[in-house]
């Protein structure tokens, strides 16, 4: 018997495929449950220095609190001086925390001149406190609006804050980190950097851009110079920024996001800290995060044999499951169009 003129696979082929599938499933489970610590694990102590962009609120602030508890020095970069000082107070509120310094800086760069201010700030920070052991790129913002309702300026604005801001900080600190013997650089993409959703033509594009940036960067800098790149795909997270964003969010976007649930900022922060210390390339949360990371793995670097095998064996199955999500999203768009906003 033949389907599409292809011969039926033999019993041996079927059995082998089943065994490989089962083995990779077990390996994936082992990896998810036990999470073996990588050999590149970076331990932080009072002599360490960690720089966090967007460290005055949301996930960045939670990361700052977590790092500070190890006794390491934390430098947070953000625009608003009042928010920076409030954040410093909050971080240093608990005992045994390391020193915290704040630097007011606009990371929404778009040309050589505005990049220069970031580079100068980085040079100053490094000469004051030393090169960072980890750079967390958390500065970012979001605004959901369909293209037909948004100004063109939304696109360069989100690109400059989310994408160019991360490129600028990374480019400015990287040479210092390299000459200091290496470090970790975390790039914050988003679940919306793995799948495009209604209302996110500007936001998703900036977050997809970060994936391409991270993937290339990880090829330029890796274990050979002890610089490890991580890219995080945080889900919807309960932060002041998310709350602000929700006020104007299109109904379609909100309904789609409701299906994914809401994570607490400290949970997301812990995942980023752990992933960056381990030097893991891909950082995600929960079963849905793992599914999305596996099905969108593409040609990105793999963190383990288990990850590689589960991508090889499970991508087609996850793509199939993913169709049900997409069908749901289509229904939402249709329904809102029919019933009005």
Q: Which of 163, 200, 203, 281 is catalytic?
A: 203
CA distances from 196 to 193, 253, 260, 318, 323 (A): 7, 11, 14, 17, 14
Give me the residue whose beta carbon is nearest to ligand NAG. 274
Decide: helix, strand or coil at residue 57: coil
Select 30 or 41, whichever has its Cβ closest to ligand NAG.
Answer: 41
The CA distance from 173 to 118, in Å, is 9
Please confirm, yes or no, whether 129 is among the known catalytic residues: no
Whether 207 is catalytic is yes
E-strand stretches of the chain: 2-3, 6-7, 49-53, 73-78, 100-104, 134-137, 183-188, 227-232, 237-238, 263-264, 282-283
Q: How far apart are CB 63 and ligand NAG at their closest, in Å?
A: 9
Catalytic residue among 83, 145, 207, 277: 207
Nearest to 322 by CA among 292, 285, 284: 292
Q: Computed from CA positions of residues 321, 326, 331, 336, in that sequence, does the dihedral angle turn out positive or negative?
A: positive
Residue 254 Cβ, how far from ligand NAG at the closest point, in Å?
Answer: 30
Q: Which is nearer to ligand NAG, 178 or 270 (CB)?
A: 270
Integer-rounded Cα radius of gyration of the chain:
21
Q: Which of 24, 48, 189, 282 is catalytic?
A: 189
The distance of closest approach from Cβ of residue 213 to ligand NAG in the complex, given in angstroms and rounded to an integer, is 24
**Residue 145 vs 280, nearer CB to ligand NAG:** 280
SS3 76: strand
Looking at the Cβ atoms of 71 and 322, the one nearer to ligand NAG is: 71
Binding site for ligand NAG (CB under 6 A): 66, 69, 270, 273-274
Tell me whether residue 171 or residue 270 sits nearer to ligand NAG (CB atom): 270
Instruction: Assign 304 to helix, strand or coil.
Output: coil
End-to-end CA distance of the chain: 53
Write out 159-222 in H/E/C secondary structure.
Answer: HHHHHHHHHHHHHHHHHHHHHCCCEEEEEECCHHHCCCCCCCHHHHHHHHHHHHHHHHHHHHCC
**Distance in Å, CB of 69 to ligand NAG, minimum:** 4
C-beta of 95 vs 224, nearer to ligand NAG: 95
Contacts of 22 (CB under 8 A, 6+ apart): none
CB of 271 to ligand NAG, least distance (A): 7
Active site residue 189: yes
At its nearest, how many Å lie between ligand NAG and the CB of residue 136? 12
Active site residue ranges = 189, 203, 207
């Amino acid at each position: 018997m033949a389907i599409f003129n292809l011969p039926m696979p033999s019993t041996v082929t079927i059995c082998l495929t089943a065994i490989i599938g089962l083995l990779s499933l077990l390996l994936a489970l082992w990896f998810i449950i036990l999470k073996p610590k990588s050999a590149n694990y970076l331990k932080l102590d009072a002599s360490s220095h960690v720089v966090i962009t967007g460290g005055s609120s949301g996930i960045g602030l939670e990361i700052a609190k977590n790092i500070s508890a190890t006794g390491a020095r934390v430098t947070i970069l953000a625009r608003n001086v009042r928010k920076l000082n409030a954040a410093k107070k909050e971080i240093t509120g608990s005992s045994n925390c390391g020193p915290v310094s704040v630097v007011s800086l606009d990371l929404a760069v778009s040309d050589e001149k505005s990049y220069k201010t970031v580079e100068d700030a980085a040079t100053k920070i490094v000469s004051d406190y030393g090169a960072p052991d980890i750079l967390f790129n958390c500065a970012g913002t979001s605004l959901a609006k369909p293209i037909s309702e948004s100004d063109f300026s939304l696109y360069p604005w989100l690109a400059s804050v989310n994408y160019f801001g991360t490129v600028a900080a990374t480019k400015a600190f990287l040479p210092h980190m390299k000459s200091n013997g290496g470090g970790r650089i975390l790039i914050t993409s988003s679940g919306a950097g793995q799948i495009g959703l209604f209302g996110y033509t500007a936001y998703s594009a900036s977050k997809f851009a970060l994936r391409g940036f991270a993937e290339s960067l990880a090829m330029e800098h890796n274990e050979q110079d002890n610089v490890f790149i991580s890219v995080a795909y945080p889900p919807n997270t309960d932060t002041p920024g998310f709350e602000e964003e929700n006020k104007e969010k299109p109904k379609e976007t909100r309904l789609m996001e409701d299906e994914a649930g809401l994570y607490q900022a400290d949970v997301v922060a812990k995942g980023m800290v752990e992933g960056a210390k381990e030097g893991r390339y891909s950082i995600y949360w929960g079963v849905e995060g793992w599914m999305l990371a596996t099905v969108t793995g593409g040609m990105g670097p793999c963190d383990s044999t288990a990850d590689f095998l589960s991508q090889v064996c499970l991508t087609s199955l996850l793509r199939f499951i993913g169709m049900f999500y997409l069908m749901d999203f289509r229904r939402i768009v249709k329904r809102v169009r029919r019933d009005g906003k």
